[in-house]
Amino acid sequence: MYRTQVEPGWSLDAWRGRARAALAIGVAPEDLQWDGDAQQGLALGAPLPDAPEAGAQLLVPARFMDLASAVLCHRDTGRHGLLYRLLWRIVKGERRLLDRATDPDVVAASTLAAAVRRDSHKMKAFVRFRQIEEGEEAYVAWFEPDHWILDRVAPFFAKRFAGMRWAILTPYRSVRWDGAVLTFGPGGVRADAPADDAREDLWRTYYANIFNPARLNPTMMRQEMPQKYWKGLPEAALLPSLMREAGSRVRDMAEREAQAPRRKIPARHTAPSPVDTGGLVAARAQAADCRRCPLWEPATQTVWGEGPEDARLMFIGEQPGDAEDLTGRPFVGPAGALLDRAFADAGIDRAAAYLTNAVKHFRFEQRGKVRLHKRPDSGHVRACHTWLQRELATVRPDTVVCLGATAASAVFGTGFKHTQERGRWHTLGNGVRAMATVHPAWVLRQPAAARESAYRVLVADLAAVSSGVNEPTRVNVRSQ
């Protein structure tokens, strides 16, 4: 009888080394005690010798290694022995053992692996970084996993947030990313991580806006977002009150819908809509009846631009969202709320600017009761270009700001490289200076840890617009 130990217990390399040593001298599973096994306290066996340096390579199916790497992260104390039993059976001739889905060892290992994968998924979904001031920017998150998954999941965060400095603390272990290397250290306590971050208000506002009370399913929600994670989630603070109010909000919604028919589109015309010159009022009336592309049909109404007809500054977004489609006004939903806040931070007066969209109908995909935003394609942008031209020709702004790549393609042409050109001034053919920046909805879509810096990109570009400090650079662009 032998005994052995895997250190750290979740390490595939460590377990493989011990398993190889046992196989090399032919130790059967029943003759090997793994520290952590239930009978470990009895410590009956002799220590397992190390494997010979040039020990034979273990040839096992990749599927087994994949299963083992997950099982090892489980807290179950019998997992090392269970895996060794599976390995023993495989190398002794049961090569297709893992295909036998009802085999008790296979069932046990698969169950442990599934729990670890679930826990890993929760970690990816529910880790929320908080910014700490440390001279340079750094973020810390607190998370309490059910299993030993930090080493398994950390590379995911390194890839996802490669450009940031961050640390994740758990009760048993911590990991730090300095932009190049992951370094593991001891565990911590919740108080080691900062609590609320002021910018989380923004996230909460967004969450409250997109929360649909009619789709509330508390059982499902608790399954997907178990309550133990709530304390780490800024949006979770809202859940009890949103859930409490869900009933009355649904009633309000039902009443509102009963009073106001959603569709405001006039009956279909056979002839294409006319486009002529004239003021904004005339153009708006014509656009209300637009059939230049199929987007008019499922949408509620054309969402025309808004602002003074002689505005010096024009902002162009992508297309109306759900709230804009229902109200008929641009930028009144969550992206609009964020844009208002960015305007305030950058010193821009929304009321003095003209806000519009490259595409004037809401493109969406119906999923149950929810209408999910769907990006317009170049055909929709082309079809709407005539309306944008009418707005540009009538308002004649000095400065145009494109919010996002779709608006930029409508203004600068489809060859415009938004990522490279973002934040730079260009001069349009008619002498108007123009810049493309990020879309506020893109900021909202960023994971919590990246949202703050994305927001700052938007505000910095808007501040440059507001102060006019950047001189226009002449580049070749499509004329208006």
**Which residue ranges make up the site for ligand URA (CB under 6 A)?**
317-321, 324, 330-331, 333, 335-336, 357, 441
Cα–Cα distance, 236 to 246 (Å, whole number) = 15
Nearest to 80 by CA among 174, 146, 187, 8: 8
Name the minimum Å distance from CB 320 to ligand URA: 5
Instruction: Select 197 or 322, whichever has its Cβ closest to ligand URA.
Output: 322
Vertex 310: Cα angle to 307 and 313 (nearest 5): 70
Name the minimum Å distance from CB 440 to ligand URA: 7
Instruction: Select 233 or 441, whichever has its Cβ closest to ligand URA.
Output: 441
Name the minimum Å distance from CB 148 to ligand URA: 43
> By beta-carbon distance, which residue lies closest to ligand URA?
317
CB 346 within 8 A of CB 468: no
Name the minimum Å distance from CB 435 to ligand URA: 16
Cα–Cα distance, 316 to 322 (Å, whole number) = 17
Instruction: Select 296 or 331, whichever has its Cβ closest to ligand URA.
Output: 331
Instruction: Select 81 or 333, whichever has its Cβ closest to ligand URA.
Output: 333
Instruction: Select 167 or 441, whichever has its Cβ closest to ligand URA.
Output: 441
Name the minimum Å distance from CB 238 to ligand URA: 22
Tokens describing residue 439: 């879309």
Name the minimum Å distance from CB 439 to ligand URA: 6
Cα–Cα distance, 87 to 355 (Å, whole number) = 65
CA separation, residue 340 to residues 19, 136, 200, 235, 337 (Å): 61, 28, 17, 21, 5
Residue with tokens 């927001």: 455
Instruction: Select 164 or 335, whichever has its Cβ closest to ligand URA.
Output: 335
N-terminal to C-terminal alpha carbon distance within the chain: 85
183: left (phi over 0), alpha (psi -120 to 50) or beta: beta
